[in-house]
Structure 1
Amino acid sequence: MKFLILAVTVALAAADVSHILNPDQTAKIIKHDLDVGVEGNYQWAIETENGIKASESGQLVNAGSEDAAEAVQGDASWTSPEGEKIQLSYVADANGYQPQGSHLPTPPPIPEAILRALEYIRAHPPKEESN
């Protein structure tokens, strides 16, 4: 019995487990750019050998004023585990984060009955009650 446990332990230690590792874990960065400019402007880009790409640029709008805000735009692309090519672009500014991509979920259409009911309510507003 001790020999069997020892043999299994040695076999597991010598086993090739490279198929278990995720190749994305060891992907090397093949491009990395960073430019931090004056007055709050910047841009960066990165690319890995497994096809992941991302870039972003931003600027400080109305620098020095009370309503100073940052405006950012960027994009990223990668391949999903299912093999689908994913592309994401985004803008983030005073109006919030606004992503775009075909992989993002979208709300279902509003049912026709609800649209008709909303139109009826708009066309027939309730009368104000007098006290």
Structure 2
Amino acid sequence: MISLVLLVGLFGCTLGLYRPDVTAGREAVGLYRPDVAVSREAAARIVGQSQDGPNVDGSYSWGYETDNGISAKESGRPKAADVLEVQGEVGYTDQDGTPIQLIYVADENGFQAKGAHLPTPPPIPEAILRSIEYNAQHPEEDDSQVQPVVGGYRQRIQ
């Protein structure tokens, strides 16, 4: 009897945490969390959507756009027996107001993304570039066949 009372009490406490979620403008049951504000992204509605495929030839495309400015689209097609070529883009506005636009391609060369917000490697220092050029012009001085020996001296491998 005590376990039944505990089970009903636990069920009642759990049920009290749920309420209709009307903050997004639609009736849905969600976990009531008064300490968590509903963000603009959580309440976004899809205003445009398209989908084509998968087709008989293996091609497809899809896209969507939301009322808060998020958009994405992608298309793909088989390029070879085991290679799928995919192109797409994603756009949204960052929290600080910066527009983000990411364009990508994925194929036999891997995933390649382009966007102004992506970090870029620093330029190669001039001394390193000169060293690479010197090594290319003097292959006879290749030290890759040199093995370190105890005492700090190097000996050429025979």
- Scaled to the shorter chain, the TM-score interval is 0.7 to 0.9
What count of residue pairs does the alignment treat as equivalent? 111
> Which structure ranks higher in relative contact order (CA pairs < 8 Å, sequence separation ≥ 6)?
1
Answer 1 or 2: which has greater helix percent.
1
Match of 1:68 among 78, 82, 96: 82
Which residue of structure 2 lines up, in the alignment, with residue 22 of structure 1? 39
- Tell me the TM-score normalised to structure 1 length: 0.76
> TM (normalized to structure 2)?
0.64
- Per-residue deviation at 1:20? 3.4
Q: 2: CA distance between counterparts of 1:46 and 1:123? A: 53
Equivalent residue runs for 1:1-131 within 5 Å: 20-36=37-53, 37-62=55-80, 67-125=81-139, 126=141, 131=158
**Where does structure 1 lack aligned partners over 5 or more consecutive residues?**
1-16
Which stretch shifts more, 119-128 or 106-115? 119-128
User: What is the letter of the counterpart of residue 48 of structure 1?
Assistant: T
1:61-103 deviation line (CA, Å, top 9, x unaligned): 23xxxx4211100011100001000111111011100111111
Q: Which runs of 5+ in 2 are unaligned?
A: 1-33, 146-155
Measure, in 1, the Cα distance between the counterparts of 2:48 and 2:35.
26
- What is the identity, as a one-letter code, of the residue corresponding to 1:71? E
Q: How far off its partner does 1:22 sit?
A: 1.4
Following TM superposition, the consecutive aligned residue runs of length 4 or more in structure 1 with deviations greater than 4 angstroms are 127-131
Q: Given the superposition, is the C-alpha separation of residues 121 and 32 from structure 1 closer, same or farther in structure 2, using an over 3 Å criterion?
A: same
